[in-house]
Chains A and B, each alone.
Chain A
């Protein structure tokens, strides 16, 4: 897909002015946060399970090579085939080869962010294989020629009336006078249209939430059941998964499952958790005849042993973006590539380069909500700060920012001078602004005053007030001590 991360600022400005998008984003702000909070509060062990989930993945990352080998052996023992792909291009080639060998013309797809990452749909179309997205949200955006704007709710930016218009435009075999006002009717229509596709498909492609080393199984976690129909009806099931999805045992999966759905949608458990191992067995009346796993690296092994290794714990629940004020304001497309929100702000520079994605780790208020809700306890703000440091050390920031910071650093290293200058400057600003109490225009602060007024400073500087408060506190403390 076209990367627009370098234009993040323009994307964001555009998103803020996009009225239908802003209406749709209201659902993110209102729904996800309460649901997660209720589900987490109902399980007293929730925070301890988060610790366990983190520890399991840390253990895996420290032994990833060995677990991958153990996993691959098990897949093959169960009659499946493992394909190793170093890059997105390798993965696309491998999948196309499988399609060619099976003479596939139509492939159905369960929801998979990895296939978004490798740009699979466009590639298959170029080679005369028709991919059909079957998750309702993915289906909607495929009809619209768009990409997901959220990792678990791909069409969260689309409103119901837009879905209705798209269905009327594409489902031309149906009565144009039909009533599509109710969301249930829209769902029913998608269900009927896609039912036929499952049966037509030659190959079903899914992602994986987990790859289990103990058994060689892939696991998908879904609510709709589309990922299941995608893998049991066609003759071939292809799993596309990145290398960090490995988990040692079914017990470890169970620990992480307990925090996954609660963090994502506020469900105790998603409707379908499906463990798939190899192709169908002799005597099985259904299931795929062939089972392939494409293991994708695409930059991840290079994150091991760096300050970004913790990001590989991510289980793609979406809690960080659901709680992010920046995501709430601009939505997912503004981030300009596959992964939006705080997890995207950390992962995207790792995968496509900080030179292209440098704006993303800067698009943060550092409020820390993402880290506070992350089920895997990933220190997202800290890692965004690491990216900012790297960006700075590679001279990627604009000159004004660099000179501004250099000027600030000059004063910050000289506390007496800093205090003196800030006292003078704040005093002067307070004096000038005392009439209205705020500025609607201020030289050098246009970025702020274009959108809102800047309050005029009142009283002493922060440091002066702090010193005074500390003085009072210590006096009252010593007063108490002597009493």
Chain B
């Protein structure tokens, strides 16, 4: 161990009370390799500043559109990756759109969803034959409904957050995943949604799982042939509610 490395190791041990030996020696080796010792104020300030400010970098022009065009781009990009889209004027029309989708795929009239308040308020009673299960998904579920946190026009991507409202298993276990997204929640880029996540959960705090979903599950592992429905849903159906 060189002089610099020993110095850095001692400093690590002094600062990190109870720090594991492995952690101390990995960090010491790094600091020694970078030739770091003594005053680290400037480096620490640079790190704190970046974590605090979270600078945006370059946002592609593609998604930076007026609200109507943004929603149209979202739909176009999602369809390009084999999602299907239904647009409805209001939340009240969602149950009807779900029933129609199930019928079009010859699926039993049965869906499951979580405790999402927006979904709960929809007039499901109007769909006489539709059976509704609640809670986390089970292996046998054919179709589930989730409400998205938002959408990203740039790539036709949905963002969903975990919790009792929309349990994560609903996104992965069924054959058909139906996702309701409000047109007003569709942003041009990922960065806009990270800001909304921070506003909802606090800076630096996240729900257990944030799923960004772009089309249905797929694999090209057999001879590079693209096949849908590898382990997750074979089909992703997006119901876009309202105008932006």
Contact stretch, chosen from B93-101, B102-110, B123-131, B163-171: B163-171
Given A223-B230, A285-B164, CB of A31 within 8 Å of CB of B224: yes
A70 touching B222, Cβ below 8 Å = no
Complexed CA–CA distance, A283 and B115 (Å) = 11
**From B61, B219, B225, contact of A223 by CB (8 A):** B219
A119 contacts the other chain (CB 8 A): no
Interface residues as binary, A43-87 with B (CB distance below 8 Å gives 1, 0 otherwise): 111001100100010010011111111101010001000001110
B6 contacts the other chain (CB 8 A): no
A228 contacts the other chain (CB 8 A): yes
Complexed CA–CA distance, A117 and B167 (Å) = 34
A254 contacts the other chain (CB 8 A): yes
Which A residues are CB-close (under 8 A) to B171? 228
A285 touching B61, Cβ below 8 Å = no
Least Cβ–Cβ distance between A357 and chain B, in angstroms? 21
Complexed CA–CA distance, A476 and B15 (Å) = 72
Complexed CA–CA distance, A451 and B35 (Å) = 50
A224 touching B219, Cβ below 8 Å = yes
Interface residues as binary, B202-244 with A (CB distance below 8 Å gives 1, 0 otherwise): 0011111111111111111111110101111100000000000
A143 contacts the other chain (CB 8 A): no
Instruction: Tell me which residues from 271 to 285 in chain A have a Cβ below 8 Å from any Cβ of chain B.
Output: 271-281, 283-285
Which A residues are CB-close (under 8 A) to B84? none
Which A residues are CB-close (under 8 A) to B60? 43-45, 49, 258
Least Cβ–Cβ distance between B64 and chain A, in angstroms? 11
Pair count A-B, CB < 8 A: 262
Instruction: Tell me which residues from 23 to 53 in chain A have a Cβ below 8 Å from any Cβ of chain B.
Output: 24, 27-28, 31, 43-45, 48-49, 52
Closest to A153 in B: B221
Complexed CA–CA distance, A274 and B171 (Å) = 11
Interface residues as binary, B44-56 with A (CB distance below 8 Å gives 1, 0 otherwise): 1011001100111
Instruction: Tell me which residues from 72 to 115 in chain B have a Cβ below 8 Å from any Cβ of chain A.
Output: 77, 81, 114
Given A276-B209, A304-B30, CB of A269 within 8 Å of CB of B162: no
A225 contacts the other chain (CB 8 A): yes
Complexed CA–CA distance, A285 and B171 (Å) = 13
B66 contacts the other chain (CB 8 A): no
A287 contacts the other chain (CB 8 A): yes
Which A residues are CB-close (under 8 A) to B17? none
Which B residues are CB-close (under 8 A) to A277? 206-209
Given A277-B206, A283-B164, CB of A251 within 8 Å of CB of B56: yes
B22 touching A85, Cβ below 8 Å = yes
B25 touching A286, Cβ below 8 Å = no
Interface size class of B (residues with CB under 8 A): 35 or more
B168 touching A224, Cβ below 8 Å = no
Instruction: Tell me which residues from 104 to 141 in chain A have a Cβ below 8 Å from any Cβ of chain B.
Output: 134-137, 140
Which residue among A28, A136, A216 has the maximum number of chain B CB atoms within 10 Å of its CB? A136
Complexed CA–CA distance, A437 and B133 (Å) = 81
B208 touching A280, Cβ below 8 Å = yes
B173 touching A229, Cβ below 8 Å = yes
B47 touching A84, Cβ below 8 Å = no
B57 contacts the other chain (CB 8 A): yes
Complexed CA–CA distance, A293 and B111 (Å) = 35
Complexed CA–CA distance, A301 and B225 (Å) = 39
Complexed CA–CA distance, A216 and B204 (Å) = 8
Least Cβ–Cβ distance between A199 and chain B, in angstroms? 7
A252 contacts the other chain (CB 8 A): yes
**From A70, A187, A285, A301, contact of B30 by CB (8 A):** A301
B147 contacts the other chain (CB 8 A): no
Contact stretch, chosen from A155-163, A359-367, A441-449: A155-163
A455 contacts the other chain (CB 8 A): no
Given A48-B58, A68-B27, CB of A272 within 8 Å of CB of B224: no
Given A160-B223, A277-B206, A280-B208, CB of A191 within 8 Å of CB of B229: yes
Q: Given A248-B47, A269-B157, 5 other A-B contacts at CB below 8 A?
A: A31-B224, A86-B22, A191-B230, A268-B81, A273-B211
| Interface residues in chain A, defined as those with a beta carbon under 8 Å from any beta carbon in chain B | 24, 27-28, 31, 43-45, 48-49, 52, 56, 59, 62-70, 72, 74, 78, 84-86, 90, 134-137, 140, 153-156, 159-160, 163, 183-184, 186-188, 191, 194-195, 199, 213-217, 223-226, 228-229, 232-233, 243, 248-252, 254-255, 257-258, 265, 267-281, 283-287, 295, 297, 301-302, 304-306
